[in-house]
Amino acid sequence: MRKLLLVAALLLCGAAAFCQGLQWGPWVTETRENSLSILWVSEKPGMAWVELEDGTRIWETFAGRRIFGRLHKIHLKNLQPGATVTYRVGGENLKDDSNPRKPKFATSYAHKWESVKTFNAGAPTCTFSVFNDIHLQTGVYSSLASKVDPSATDFLYLNGDIATAGNYGLDTLVRYELAPLGELTAKLPVLFGRGNHEGRGNNVQLVADIFPNTDPAPFYYTFRQGPVAFVVFDAGETGHDRSILFSGSAVYEEYLNEQLEWAKKALLEPSFFYAPVKICMLHVPMIDHEDKTDYLLQRWLNVNFIDLLNQVGTDLMIGADLHEFMYCEPCTMNNSFPIMVNDDARRLDVFSDGKKITLHMFNAEGVQEFEKEIIL
């Protein structure tokens, strides 16, 4: 009996060792109709792979080499719209790389199997949840996320300021931006819009590393799910004296004009222009104010972007930043579409079937505090 117990214990220890290795994740992002990216952070540096349901293993590589690190990203391509991708992540932990020609590896690990879907422009509906302005309040963040039904949701959208300004390292940033979402990150794509606080500090590139997006830029892009086409903008820094604030390193005016020129072409692309529903997402809402100085960036966005969004038939703007709820009806801010600003401690659930958009805002206890139906 003792021998049997010893063997069983050894087997359990071996299985546990094989399963150890993940520090954070996995999470799915950079999702489109034909591709998606799977990321995670391992406890130790090493090589990494994603295994698919058919047994195919895709290793993390760069220019002909399997690379070693803790933050892993594997981009899956040539997928089908609306396809279910069943996967698990794993890797081999690096033991010694003092000899560059003969690195040594120790233990291996493999995570449990997960499934996620690619986007599908042909889907009849689109449903997603929005979080913003969490500012490190992980308890509130976890409570809001716990009420999300992954079987009835297409993706999660983080609309900025999930973290607060700081020179974060990898583990700290992932712990605040993604960990409170729990297992949702492995089952639902997590898309990201940068807030002004994620543009502060000296590790701004690290935010793009954990939320990679290369087409056309890390923090502004378009995508499509079901009847809804989305455009995401990055308004940058909200402070008045931006160059002084960052010791002359801020060039946000150039950056905003770059986005404006890109949008003039991107919003006329057939996949966006002819979509039944068009939604603009950004952290800083494009609203106007009687006070012409206190809200400089919001007014600049309103003056420079709103007319373009009106021209292409935008149906809704979803913003954040204000730390309070606001709903602006059409024609109140030079806008032909409503502008919805989500509260900092609320989750916004959005649904569209191509004929209407419904908005539901919930607090951390799951109580609905706002409901609106927009007939298109």
pLDDT given for residue 295 in this prediction? 61
pLDDT-flagged residues of the chain (< 50): 1-19
**Is 1 within 8 Å of 93 (Cβ atoms)?**
no
Q: Which tokens belong to 289?
A: 């104010």
Domain residue ranges in the chain: 16-117, 126-375
Residue for token digits 């889907």?
123
Count of C-beta atoms within a 10 Å radius of residue 49: 19
**375, β-bridge pairs:** 356
Long-range contacts of 138-141 (CB under 8 A, 24+ apart): 138/175, 138/176, 138/179, 138/180, 140/345, 140/364, 141/180, 141/181
Angle between helices 252-266 and 296-311 (to 10 degrees): 10
Give the tens place of pLDDT for each residue, 275-302.
999 999 999 999 987 666 556 789 889 9
DSSP lists the bridge partners of residue 222 as 231
Is 126-375 in the same CATH topology as 16-117? no
pLDDT of residue 289: 74
Record the tokens describing residue 35, joined without a space: 């591709």
Whole-model pTM: value is 0.93
Q: What is the pLDDT of residue 15?
A: 39
How much is the pLDDT for 201? 78
**Close Cβ partners of 259 (under 8 Å, ≥ 6 residues apart):** 220, 233, 234
Give the strand pairing for 126-131 and 155-158: parallel
CATH class for the domain made up of 16-117: mainly beta
| pLDDT one-digit tens code per residue, 300-313 | 899 999 999 999 99
CATH number for domain 126-375, candidates 3.40.1000.10, 3.60.21.10, 3.40.50.1220, 3.40.50.300: 3.60.21.10
Are the C-beta atoms of 85 and 118 separated by less than 8 Å? yes
What integer pLDDT is reported at residue 2 of this predicted model?
Answer: 45
Q: Strands of 347-352's sheet, edge to edge? A: 190-192, 155-158, 126-131, 347-352, 356-362, 368-375
Residues 2-58 have pLDDT tens digits of 444 443 443 443 434 444 699 999 999 999 999 999 999 999 999 999 999 999 999
How far, in Å, CA of 251 to CA of 249, rounded?
7
Q: State the virtual CA torsion across 212, 214, 218, 222 in degrees, nearest 10.
A: -110
